[in-house]
Structure 1
């Protein structure tokens, strides 16, 4: 799951939407990056619940699952609104501009969901210095 997410992110960042020659490549990269990322954090949340008392607390599992659910919920409208907005260039008085803004809000919600999800792993990756 991490490989498609990283490949989609690479496509997403290298092919910007302002390039009119291939806007569909940018959209496919976003779909792959956000779609596989949402699947990854959902599966990781389930794994966190399976290893709960030994490796982390129920509170952390609940936080991870909440972030995962919010990201899943925001991912679906981002696709819907991206399909409904058909223009490549947006001006605030165009009809599709509202759909574009809603799609961008949902995409940024998913992106910040990824960031906050990975911040829940701080305790897991802390290294202590032990003197014997």
Structure 2
């Protein structure tokens, strides 16, 4: 018997939120402290242009994108009753790619590439929030309180981009556009956090048990209950006669 073990999936969710939120906050504090950006209110990408904050931003954002995609893969596997889970997984892949591009290429190095990555992330993950919230509202595995929170985030995912698009036509209100960007990024992170309570302990790698079949795996236990296969049980009972 070879057992690879299990892991609490919610820790991937916590890691995603930690990386996304703390990367933005730490880079903002460093950039403001060194006088690279004004305190009120820079765009998130403005806090990742100069050294040393741009290096922290790259590591944090790319790591956060990896964890974000891993979290969406876990959502895909944990909730097979979600109708649009393949669609949301595909959108999550695009969002993670866009987030990685946005983190790897700052706005001064190549503005076009950076903007494409940012738009890809925000547009795709905005759709992920809306579709997953609808899927969760139809699922029997999601608690009513969690559904209400997800639907609230879905409403924000519709309202905030509309406001941001309107403000983009008024350059003098750039600080309010930056506020929408910060609000959207933090909203995405905390929406992801809502799945932490929905996850149980799951096996990341299935146990390998020759000549045995698993019949029960307790969600909060590292031990699995196994039984002999039906054919072996019949052969054992026949040999006793």
Query: Fold-level match, TM-score > 0.5?
Result: yes
User: Is 2:96 the counterpart of 1:6?
Assistant: yes
Higher relative contact order (CA 8 A, sep 6+): 2
1:111 corresponding residue in structure 2? 185
More strand by share: 2
Taking the aligned partners of 1:83 and 1:26, their CA distance within structure 2 comes to 20
Tell me if the contact between 2:146 and 2:194 (Cα under 8 Å) persists in the aligned partners.
yes
User: Structure 1 regions of 5+ residues with no counterpart?
Assistant: 86-95
What is the number of equivalent residue pairs in this alignment? Answer: 116
Q: Quick one: distance in 2 between partners of 1:83 and 1:68?
A: 24
2:161 counterpart (65, 71, 75): 75
Instruction: Give the number of the structure whose residues are more often helix, by fraction.
Output: 1
CA RMSD of aligned residues (A): 1.9
Q: Match of 1:30? A: 118
Q: Which residue of 2 aligns with 1:129?
A: 221
Once the two structures are TM-superposed, the CA of residue 126 in structure 1 deviates from its matched residue by: 3.4
Compared with structure 1, are the counterparts of its residues 3 and 11 closer, same or farther at alpha carbon in structure 2 (3 Å cutoff)?
A: same
What is the TM-score normalised by the length of structure 1?
0.77
Structure possessing the higher radius of gyration over alpha carbons = 2
Give ranges in structure 2 of 5+ residues lacking alignment.
Answer: 1-90, 202-219, 226-241
- The one-character-per-residue Cα deviations of 1:46-78 (angstroms, maximum 9, x if unpaired) are 000111xx2012221110010121122112232
Q: 1:60 touches 1:120 (CA, 8 Å); kept in 2? A: yes
TM-score for the superposition, normalised by structure 2: 0.44
Which whole-Å CA distance do the structure 1 matches of 2:103 and 2:166 have between them?
A: 21
Question: How far apart in 1 are the matches of 2:131 and 2:118?
Answer: 20
Offset at residue 15 of structure 1 (A): 1.5
Match runs of 1:79-90 below 5 Å: 79-82=165-168, 84-85=170-171
